[in-house]
């Protein structure tokens, strides 16, 4: 898509997600050291008719859950009782990547349908299904589903590694994603770019070696 459309959609996506759930009614929490199947059971037990589900499948033993504030708080307590190493609330403005974001998904879907997308020039592994995407219709659908679906970060990194990717570049402040990549696969190399200095370092590392293209 054009840069203009991309910036416009990113802004609207943030606006729609913030407006989907009144402040204070949603929450997210990081659960460390608990098996995925056990965590699914914890969420079901904690729901009590409300929404709570895995939102970010970050790395082995690290999952973020999201949903109604009360349900997330109950899930934190249950997770601790089930042996989680840590279960802590995350300071966020809304419960992202869960069913409570359905109003935002519906509004963004309409905008995406009205936006022109070309087929991808570079294949993408999207975080909805950790699958390789090349066509515009599939990319558009992934952007819609991503609003309410969990981020399958671990699966996405493993898929990229299976496709032969061995160098990752994190763009933005900090090295959180680089840390997650190393937790998933210590054989992967990760650079981070957050300012002029780290950009220069990355450019040097990514520059073609003599005799190669």
Q: Report CA 69 to chain centroid distance, whole Å.
A: 20
What pLDDT, on a 0 to 100 scale, did the predictor assign at position 209? 61
Residues contacting residue 140 through CB under 8 Å, at least 6 positions apart: 112, 113, 117
Residue-wise pLDDT tens digits, 140-174: 999 999 999 999 999 999 999 999 999 999 999 99
SS3 10: helix
Report the C-alpha gap between 64 and 87 in whole angstroms: 9
What pLDDT, on a 0 to 100 scale, did the predictor assign at position 177? 95
Q: At what angle do helices 36-47 and 69-81 cross, to 10 degrees?
A: 130
What pLDDT, on a 0 to 100 scale, did the predictor assign at position 193? 97
What pLDDT, on a 0 to 100 scale, did the predictor assign at position 190? 95
Domains and CATH numbers, the chain: 21-97 (3.30.70.250), 166-213 (no CATH)
Q: Report CA 152 to chain centroid distance, whole Å.
A: 7
Residues contacting residue 89 through CB under 8 Å, at least 6 positions apart: 27, 28, 29, 72, 73, 76
Spans in the chain with pLDDT lower than 70: 209-213
Could you tell me if 99 and 149 are in contact, meaning their C-beta atoms sit under 8 angstroms apart? no
């Amino acid at each position: 898509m054009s840069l203009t459309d991309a910036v416009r959609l990113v802004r609207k996506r943030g606006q729609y997600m913030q407006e989907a759930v009144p402040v204070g009614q949603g929450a997210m929490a990081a659960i460390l050291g608990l098996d995925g199947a056990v965590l699914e059971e914890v969420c079901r037990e904690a729901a009590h008719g409300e929404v709570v589900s895995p939102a970010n499948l970050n790395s082995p033993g690290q999952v973020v859950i999201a949903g109604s504030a009360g349900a997330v708080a109950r899930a934190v307590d249950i997770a601790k009782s089930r042996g989680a190493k840590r279960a802590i609330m995350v300071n966020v403005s809304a419960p992202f990547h869960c069913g409570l974001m359905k109003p935002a998904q519906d509004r963004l879907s309409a905008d995406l349908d009205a936006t022109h997308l070309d087929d991808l020039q570079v294949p993408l592994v999207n975080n909805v299904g950790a699958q390789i995407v090349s066509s515009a219709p599939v990319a558009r659908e992934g952007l819609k589903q991503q609003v309410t679906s969990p981020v399958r970060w671990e699966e996405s990194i493993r898929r990229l590694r299976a496709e032969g990717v061995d160098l990752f570049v994190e763009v933005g402040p900090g090295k959180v994603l680089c840390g997650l990549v190393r937790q998933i696969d210590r054989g992967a190399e990760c650079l981070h770019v957050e300012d002029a200095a780290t950009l220069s370092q990355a450019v040097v590392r990514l520059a073609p070696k003599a005799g190669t293209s």
